[in-house]
Amino acid sequence: MAEDDKANGSGPENRTERPELSEQEKAMLRRAEAVISNLAETYPDVAARDVERLETAVEALEADPPGYAKHLARIFEISHDMKGQGASFGYPMITEVGNLLCRFVERLDGPPDEEQMMVVKIHVGTLRVVVTDGIRTTEGEVAETLLGGLQLVNRKVSE
């Protein structure tokens, strides 16, 4: 064994052998992969329903300013779920927009004013466009323009 292997702990005595999967474990793994694949195929429908839920939460926020905390929590919860699911199912653009919305909502320390409410609506509208138009990646002119606009609006309103 080379001296470098001894020094950095990568010699054979430090390697963990992976046990071979049993046939039952292999079958379970195949079933799990099939479920994930199926979920990825249906994710655009799930995302569209999530956008509808966001739109409903925004309407509730506008209709019930004194209840702003619960409505903002709902908006955060839905956008956080979308953020987590997007990249998992091949839609990193949803993850990015969801993350921007989460970060914006986190910075609100009271009921949103008119300008902040507009920013929330812009994020939700962007998610609607991303889902409807099937914008999957954060690359390309359209995606970069959308993300750049959201980042600019977030900075401007946060100043």
The full DSSP string for 2-27 is -HHHHHHT-SGGGPPPPPPPPHHHHH
Question: The whole model's pTM is what?
Answer: 0.78
Structural domain contains residue 5: no
Structural domain contains residue 83: yes
| 3-state SS record for 98-157 | HHHHHHHHHHCCCCCCHHHHHHHHHHHHHHHHHHHHCCCCCCCHHHHHHHHHHHHHHHHH
Q: What's the pLDDT tens digit per position in 59-87?
A: 999 999 999 999 999 999 999 999 999 98
pLDDT of residue 25: 83
Local structure of residue 64 (DSSP, 8 states): -
What is the full per-residue pLDDT of the chain (159 aa) written as tens digits? 445 444 545 555 555 677 888 888 878 888 877 777 776 788 999 999 999 999 999 999 999 999 999 999 999 999 999 999 998 888 999 999 999 999 999 999 999 999 999 999 999 999 999 999 999 999 999 999 999 999 999 999 887
Place of tokens 């429908």: 45
pLDDT of residue 141: 95
Residue 16: CB atoms within 10 Å: 5
Structural domain contains residue 70: yes
Q: Which domain holds residue 110?
A: 45-158
Q: How many domains does the chain have?
A: 1
